[in-house]
Amino acid sequence: MALALGGNVEGTIAGETSPVERTLIWALWQLQASLGDLRSASLYRSRAVSLPGSPIAQPDFLNTAAIARTDLPPDAVLALAKALELAAGRRRGARFGPRPLDIDLLLYDDRRSGLPELTLPHPRLRERRFVLAPLAEIAPDLAVPPDGARVADLLARLGEPGDAGIADDVERIGWGRS
């Protein structure tokens, strides 16, 4: 199972304001407590996804990815992710707007689902460098359904930052440097 985590505004953990990096660390600890052994990537910085005509200006995101093996079914993992987002202070607002914590279930073995509340694999996984870069760091050979493409190959297909038309929008910064 693979998860993507990100955030770009302060959250609230146990009633106290928390910077984004601390919120991500807290979420990883909570996920490990519920799922078991968890392997996480470095911390990355990326520009917020901007939509044409969107009036929402927002700070850069901090992102990471994690992989785990669990006996929990995908819908239980999704429920856990949503509960952690709420506990960190996330409130529903503008789509792609600022948020203290966003956790996406990217992959769950080779399962496929087209349910509106849970699409597996994540529908935009293959086009998001801010998801693929951290995931490739910890699981470059992980196969993505339906064709079994490796995560590292999907990242390579996006091209290199600096290539014509490709922005340098993801930077590996490491933990404790945000």
- How many Cα atoms sit within 13 Å of 170 on the Cβ side? 23
Q: What is the pLDDT along the chain (178 residues), one digit of tens a residue?
A: 999 999 999 888 877 888 999 999 999 999 999 999 999 999 999 988 765 555 667 889 999 999 999 999 999 999 999 999 999 988 776 566 688 999 999 999 998 888 778 999 999 999 999 999 999 999 999 999 999 999 999 999 997 765 545 455 889 999 987 6
- Residue 133 and residue 172 in contact, taking contact as beta carbons nearer than 8 Å: yes
Q: Is 110 a catalytic residue?
A: no
- Options 45, 102, 128, 129, the catalytic residue: 102
pLDDT at position 15? 79
Kindly report the pTM of this predicted structure: 0.90
pLDDT at position 54? 57
Q: Is 104 a catalytic residue?
A: yes
Cis peptide bond N-terminal to 121, omega within 30: yes
DSSP conformational letter for 123: T
The backbone torsions φ and ψ at residue 38, rounded to the nearest 5 degrees and listed phi first, read: -135, 135
Q: Is 99 a catalytic residue?
A: yes
pLDDT at position 48? 81
Beta carbons within 8 Å of 141's beta carbon, 6+ residues apart: 150, 151, 152
- Residue 74 and residue 104 in contact, taking contact as beta carbons nearer than 8 Å: no
Q: Dmax of the chain from CA atoms? A: 46
- Options 22, 39, 91, 104, the catalytic residue: 104
**Tokens of residue 52, six digits:** 């044409």
- Options 39, 60, 99, 110, the catalytic residue: 99
pLDDT at position 37? 94
pLDDT at position 126? 94
Q: How far apart are CA 85 and CA 88, in angstroms?
A: 5
Q: Is 90 a catalytic residue?
A: yes
- Residue 71 and residue 89 in contact, taking contact as beta carbons nearer than 8 Å: no
- Options 90, 150, 153, 169, the catalytic residue: 90
Report which secondary-structure segment, H or E, holds 25: helix 20-35
pLDDT at position 164? 47
Q: How far apart are CA 178 and CA 163, in angstroms?
A: 26
**Tokens of residue 87, six digits:** 């506990």
pLDDT at position 92? 74
- Residue 19 and residue 178 in contact, taking contact as beta carbons nearer than 8 Å: yes
